[in-house]
Amino acid sequence: MTSLRQKNSERYVLDQLLAALGRQSGYEIENSETPDFIISICGRREGVEITSYHNNGGKLSRRAVEEEWKDMVTSAEQFCKKRPEIGNVAVMIKFKARVPGKKEQGKFLEEIQNLICVNRDKLRSGVYRVRGEITSELMSRYVDSIHLREVDGIGKWDKAGNVIDLPAVRIASIIKEKSDKNYLEVDELWLVIYGGCTPSGMILLPDGLHEFMRCVELCTNLELSRFSRVYVFSKMGLFGWDRVRHWQEIQLPLSYLAS
């Protein structure tokens, strides 16, 4: 049975989705279990299954993944405090697999500092993305791609993906898992996936919809699934898929952005 707290969280996500879709009235929502909610509208029943996102952890536990990244961010913050010339640069890294260990973090951060300094002019014109042409020793070993952006104030560090698996691949897995469940009879079945605030729960998509569209496994699982629509609440925004228009970005309501 779903706890009251979890059910309230799921209902909040559903309310935000309906607001983003412009549904203000004319429907009734019924609590259910499989799917989590049933929307009755114009004589139709739409089932909505809602689930939170977590990476599968690979060979590492979820806690170990988060601790590795937390340690890296702490090292980066201390590193940037001593180097104000790079302190206003936001850094987003997509790792190939693991985060550098403690003994390698100093050299790894120096390589990123050099990348920032060499490409400072490019940063002023917007986000600077590096992929494929990385040649420095540790970055070439650990980094799939890196995004740099100048900001007002202190730049934050994020990772795109969850170190062990990339969001599009994990979402493909979630879709397959959820599609195999037994659901009540409805006219249309939706799946809503929402990210959290912990490293293992964040959905970071630096390339937006392109992250989804170029993932063969995700495209295949969507087409084979029982879902008419799939929505993903990520840190980069709300994305929706259906069988006619495929992927598109959806404007989030102000109430969600403020939460």
CB atoms within 10 A of CB 129: 15
Note the pTM of the prediction, 2 decimals.
0.66
Residue 253, CA distances (Å) to 16, 23, 91, 214 in order: 7, 12, 27, 28
Q: Which of 65-74, 119-128, 184-193 is most confident?
A: 184-193
In the chain, pLDDT over 70 holds for what percent of residues?
86
Same domain, 66 and 152: yes
Same domain, 95 and 131: yes
Number of domains forming the structure of the chain: 2
Instruction: Give the domain extent around 221.
Output: 4-56+165-257
Q: Which of 14-18, 55-59, 123-127, 140-144 is most confident?
A: 14-18
Q: Any idea what DSSP says for residue 259?
A: -
Per-residue pLDDT, 163 = 42
Identify the residue with better confidence: 37 or 236: 37
Same domain, 253 and 185: yes
Question: In the sheet that 128-131 helps form, which strands lie side by side, from edge to edge?
Answer: 128-131, 143-150, 89-95, 157-159
Same domain, 85 and 133: yes
Per-residue pLDDT, 8 = 93
Could you tell me the pLDDT band of residue 10, with boundaries at 50, 70 and 90? Answer: very high
Rounded Cα distance between 84 and 125, Å, is: 20
Same domain, 141 and 76: yes
Least confident of 88-97, 100-109, 166-175: 88-97
Name the residue type at position 144: D
Same domain, 72 and 149: yes
Same domain, 155 and 217: no
Same domain, 121 and 241: no
Could you tell me the pLDDT band of residue 197, with boundaries at 50, 70 and 90? Answer: confident
Same domain, 139 and 121: yes
Least confident of 42-51, 52-61, 133-142: 52-61
What is residue 157's three-state secondary structure? strand
Q: Where are the alpha helices (DSSP H) in the chain?
A: 4-20, 62-81, 102-118, 120-123, 137-142, 167-179, 209-213, 216-224, 254-257
CA geometry: angle 31, 32, 36, nearest 5 deg: 95
* Average pLDDT of the segment spanning 206-224: 88
Last residue of a domain, one of 97, 132, 159: 159
Last residue of a domain, one of 159, 186, 214: 159
Same domain, 51 and 171: yes
* Average pLDDT of the segment spanning 60-65: 58
Per-residue pLDDT, 62 = 56
CB neighbour list of residue 109: distance below 8 Å, 6 or more residues apart: 75, 76, 79
Same domain, 140 and 112: yes
Could you tell me the pLDDT band of residue 161, with boundaries at 50, 70 and 90? Answer: very low
How many residues are recorded in the chain?
A: 259
Per-residue pLDDT, 14 = 96
* Average pLDDT of the segment spanning 136-147: 88
What is residue 216's three-state secondary structure? helix
Rounded Cα distance between 48 and 251, Å, is: 20
Last residue of a domain, one of 127, 159, 191: 159
Same domain, 66 and 151: yes
Identify the residue with better confidence: 186 or 128: 186
